[in-house]
Amino acid sequence: MSSEAAPMSLRPSASAPVSQAASVTHMTEFVLPPHANSFGNVFGGQIMAWVDICAAICASRHSRLPCVTAFVDDLHFVAPVRAGEIVRLEARVSAAFRTSLEITVEVSGENPIEARRWVCTRATLTFVAVGADRQPTPVPPLLLDSPELVASQAAGEERRQQRKARSRSAK
Ligand SMILES: CC(C)(COP(=O)(O)OP(=O)(O)OC[C@H]1O[C@@H](n2cnc3c(N)ncnc32)[C@H](O)[C@@H]1OP(=O)(O)O)[C@@H](O)C(=O)NCCC(=O)NCCS
């Protein structure tokens, strides 16, 4: 008999709610000169790429499936981050639907020398989980175990209706 414990499956059933904490994703990036524009500030597109990666990891952790970006809500760059500073990202599931998930990403800048942090941007993205057949596949609901999460799911449902209207008018 092997003394090694069998690996624990992380795959949830599509109907068992998953806590928000189970998929919270953090990333820390050091801003290097190739990430920066001629003003020495990190490119908006670089921030967007990091936001997309951080959110995709969070969506896959929740669903235990590959997830594709379906929609990115408005992105506002509140304050720049310069080369030599740090970009911190935190992604959370803010609402779960049938096969899609709303992920909110908060991005902040950090100057490690001055021990200073500031808000850089906040973004909301929708990801769709896809199965082996590459078709949208059901995701577990978000475990609504606090009034804040109940409010977050309700606000996500409202934003989802707005996205549907925007997607329809864009077709
Ligand atoms: C996202 C995608 C898989 C949806 O496929 P589809 O056949 O249109 O799917 P459906 O109409 O059955 O909708 C499936 C889910 O996607 C959601 N969805 C589809 N288009 C959406 C959009 N523009 N914005 C937000 N959600 C969207 C639907 O609301 C639905 O969610 P629900 O099941 O939680 O209610 C498909 O449009 C696609 O592959 N898009 C390209 C994705 C991509 O290449 N991303 C960039 C690289 S990762």
pLDDT digits (tens, 9 = 90+) for 100-148: 999 999 999 999 999 999 999 999 999 999 999 999 999 999 999 999 9
- Asked, for residue 8, whether it belongs to a domain, the answer is no
What pLDDT digit, counting tens, does each position of 8-62 carry?
Answer: 666 666 789 999 999 999 999 999 999 999 999 999 999 999 999 999 999 999 9
- What is the CATH number for 76? 3.10.129.10
Contact 18, 143 (CB under 8 A): yes
Give distance in angstroms: CA of 118 to centre of ligand 1.
33
Nearest to 76, CA basis, from 124, 126, 123: 123
- Asked, for residue 59, whether it belongs to a domain, the answer is yes
Residues spanned by the domain of 59: 21-170
Count: domains in the chain? 1
Using a 6 Å cutoff on CB, does residue 126 contact ligand 1? yes
Residue 1 — pLDDT band, cuts 50, 70, 90?
very low
- Asked, for residue 123, whether it belongs to a domain, the answer is yes
Residue 4, both tokens: 């090694």
Q: Residue written as tokens 């769709």?
A: 128
In this prediction, residues 54-73 reach a mean pLDDT of 97
- Asked, for residue 149, whether it belongs to a domain, the answer is yes
- Asked, for residue 16, whether it belongs to a domain, the answer is no
Contact 127, 100 (CB under 8 A): yes
Q: Residue written as tokens 């801003």?
A: 31
User: What pLDDT, on a 0 to 100 scale, did the predictor assign at position 12?
Assistant: 63
| Stated pTM of the model | 0.92
- Asked, for residue 2, whether it belongs to a domain, the answer is no
* Residue having the nearest C-alpha atom to atom 8 of ligand 1: 136
Strand pairing category for 76-77 and 86-96: unpaired
